[in-house]
Every structure is written in C-alpha cells, then in structure tokens.
Amino acid sequence: MTEPGAAAQPLLEVRDLIVQHGQLRALNGISLRMSAGEVYAIIGANGAGKSTLLRTIAGLHAPTAGSVFFDGQDVTALRPERRARQGIVLVPEGRRLFGSLTVEENLNVGATYARSGSWTIERVYDMFDWMRNRRSQRTAQLSGGEQQAVAIGRALVANPRLLLLDELSLGLAPVVIQRIYGMLPQILATGLSVLLVEQDVSQALRVATHIHCLLEGRTTLEGKPGAVTAEQVEAAYFGLAGAARSTQLGEGSEP
C-alpha cells in the first residue's frame, strides 16, 4: 500500500507451478510476478524447464498443481486458444510457421482472432521492411532469421498484452540476433509486456528489467539485472554447490 508499484495488480502471476512430463518433474514449484511494461527474462541451462514454463503459461501444458493468473483472472483451466484471444501470445521455439502458407497468409492467420490494438500487418511490414516485397513467398523459402521475424510478426498482429518469446536466438547468427533484439524497444513502445526465455545470459541481462534463473525445475535466482552479481548468476545458472541453495533476494535461506 505504501508503494504504488507494489499495490498495482501484476499482469501475470504464477503460483507454485508443478508440471510433470511423464515421470519427469519439469517444473517444481515455480512462482513469479510480473508487472505491465516489464521485460521479464527466464534464464537457465538446457533442461532447466524454461520452455516448459512458457508453454504452461501459454496453455500448451496442463500443470499438475499451481495456477496462472493473467490480469487478476485465473486462466489455469483455459485452453491455449482462449488465452491467445485474451492476449497471451507465444512465439514458440523453432518458429513453428505454417510452412505451406505464404508470409502474408501466416500474418493473416495471426490476425484472425486479434484483439483490437495498434499492430497491423502493414505495421509489421514497416518494422521489417524486407517483408513487404516477399509477402507472397512461402515461409519455407526464408532464412532462419527471416522466419523468426515472421513468427514475431504473426504474434504481434494478434495485439497481445503479454508476448512470450521462446529462445529467439536459437540457431541464428549473432548479427541476426542483435537485429531481432534491436526491435524490442519498438515493440515495447506499443505498451505490451514481454516474458522471454533465453539461453544466452548476457543477451538476457542486456534487455531485461527482471531476471529469473531456473535450474532443474526450481528457481535459483531472481532479481533486477543491476542487483545481482555475475558470480551469483553463474552459481544459479550452473547450480554450483552452496551458492545455489537459495540466493533469492529478500528471502532467508536455510543453513
């Protein structure tokens, strides 16, 4: 109540999320809160559960326990297409474009159930200027970076409130990654919030307003990029003995 920021309702709140993949417990009691306008980065090594977390927030995995609140509303039981129409839109790992459709058709599919908002196909063409001339090409003919741009465009034209980005940099050349992350300020300027998963920690630290490190399905570190040291991040990322127990800021750790 004292700070207006703390009293404001979080845009997304995840409470004690547990997700099983068969015998494997992929997420083991994950909680997070993010406010509107944030760039919230989930970091962690391979198999830490980052993508599972994003996919569960998008509705593609059903959690065994825990809940997901979006704008104060419990969306845990909603199917992925309902969440997408409410404004939670995922750019999935590996782009997942519609391969037999053209660039423009991919964008049109993204816009089919769009909320009202400022993003249009024209605006996506303005942001990625090469796209307009190649709109009638099939996406299978595009390079990896171009496909990623189309995948982002397809998500943006739905006018999401929360954009989930899963491993944007996967399989892309560094210069292409820089170009794509360079678009982030333009995207944020339109008032949407971004929750991203990134394996490249330095990239995540550069763009994020909040970082959250996972290791084997548990939270090992959480905080503002400026408030954590490189050593803390390293320890949390690799799970080095002792340091990884609980470096969560503001929470007492057991001896």
Partner 1 sequence: MAWVNAIIQGVLTGGLYALFACGLSLMFGVMKVVNLAHGDLAVVAGYVGIGVIAVTHVPVLWSFLIVVPVMAALGYVLQRTIIQSALDRSVLTTLLVTFGLSIVIENGLLQFFTANSRSIGADLALVRDSFSLGSQIQIGYLVVVIFATAVIVLLGLQYFLSASRYGRLIRASADDPEAAQLAGADYRHVFGVAAAIAFGTVALAGMAYGMYSQLQPTTGTDTILLFAFAAVVIGGLGSLWGTLLGGVVLGVAQQIGAQINISDEVLAGYLVFLAVLVLRPQGLTARRAQ
Residue ranges in contact with partner 1 by CB under 8 A: 58-60, 79-81, 84-85, 89-90, 92, 96-101, 105-106, 108-110, 112-114, 140, 154-155, 158
93 versus 200: smaller Cβ distance to partner 1: 93
197 versus 233: smaller Cβ distance to partner 1: 197
Give the shortest CB-252-to-partner 1 separation in angstroms: 40
Give the shortest CB-111-to-partner 1 separation in angstroms: 8
Helices (H), 65-173: 80-86, 103-111, 121-127, 130-133, 144-156
Burial (0-12, 13-18, 19+ Cβ within 10 Å), 20:
middle
Shortest CA distance to 43 belongs to which of 197, 182, 191, 251?
197
Residue with tokens 């990654």: 177
154 versus 212: smaller Cβ distance to partner 1: 154
Task: Specify the DSSP class assigned to residue 27.
Answer: E
79 versus 245: smaller Cβ distance to partner 1: 79
Length of the chain: 255
Amino acid in position 144: G
Give the shortest CB-251-to-partner 1 separation in angstroms: 34
Backbone angles phi, psi at 195, to 5 degrees: -115, 115
103-111 and 144-156 are packed helices; what angle lies between their axes, rounded to 10 degrees?
Answer: 30
Distance of CA 109 to the CA centre of its chain: 21
Distance CA 129, CA 80 (A): 31
92 versus 217: smaller Cβ distance to partner 1: 92
51 versus 106: smaller Cβ distance to partner 1: 106
- Residue 247 is encoded by which pair of tokens? 């470096």
